[in-house]
Amino acid sequence: MAHFIELTAADGFRFPAYEARPAGPAKGAVVVLQEIFGVNAHIRAVADGFAADGYLALAPATFHRVKPGVELAYTPEDIAAGVALKAAVEALPVPGVMQDIQAAIDYAAKTGKVGVVGYCWGGLLAWRAACALSGLSAAVPYYGGGMTSALEIARTPKCPVLAHFANQDQSIPLAGVEALRQAHAEVDVHLYEATHGFNCDHRGAYDATAAALARERTLAFFARHLS
């Protein structure tokens, strides 16, 4: 069963989140953080996939503070629009969208232990959530854009982290991935023979082999930390 619900952040801001529930009792919860394309068909399918694996899955609309109802595809025009929206959210006064993610975690915690998974910009937000928010038992950033910068590497995660990167990613230098690995021996870092966005089967960068292996590792990680 899947539908949109409304959540309320600590400052009273209301925003939608896509909720997908498993057929039986949930074995935990996963907050799914979007790319720069909104809670689109791909992100909803990702949430549905985690629900099929027995988790309550919740995908908050992290663009809602700057523009409601965003659902983009992957054309150059869509990418430009998504980049602009991401910049607008990043420019919000602190804590900005992090309080929306905290509200999603708090809601999901009614089900049990909570993990967070994010893709691209959502990967960066997942890393920040692991370091700054409360109530998380695991975090899995996929090719988190920006999380290998010195500013982000300086953060310290408060829960176990599994990080997926691609060795042909033109937007995340391998030197940054190595710097993250050196600074955080506690983070489980994996590199794949793929490019940025390899998990998304709606775009040309999709790599079925890398996506399957990363998903296998992600599910094993969540099974270990959310049970």
Give the chain's length.
227
Q: For this structure, is 120 an active site residue?
A: yes
Tokens 């025009």 sit at which residue? 77
DSSP 128-197: HHHHH-SSEEEEEEES-TTTTSHHHHTS--SS-BEEEEETT-TTS-HHHHHHHHHH-TTSEEEEESS-TT
What one-letter code names the amino acid at 121?
Answer: W
**Which listed residue (64, 196, 207, 225) is catalytic?**
196
**Which listed residue (64, 120, 164, 200) is catalytic?**
120
Helix H or strand E encompassing 43: helix 41-52
CA angle 88, 144, 9 (to 5 degrees): 50
**Which listed residue (42, 159, 169, 225) is catalytic?**
169
Q: For this structure, is 196 an active site residue?
A: yes
Looking from the CA of 91 toward its CB, the CA atoms found within 13 Å total 7
Q: For this structure, is 225 an active site residue?
A: no
Which sequence positions are flagged as catalytic?
120, 169, 196
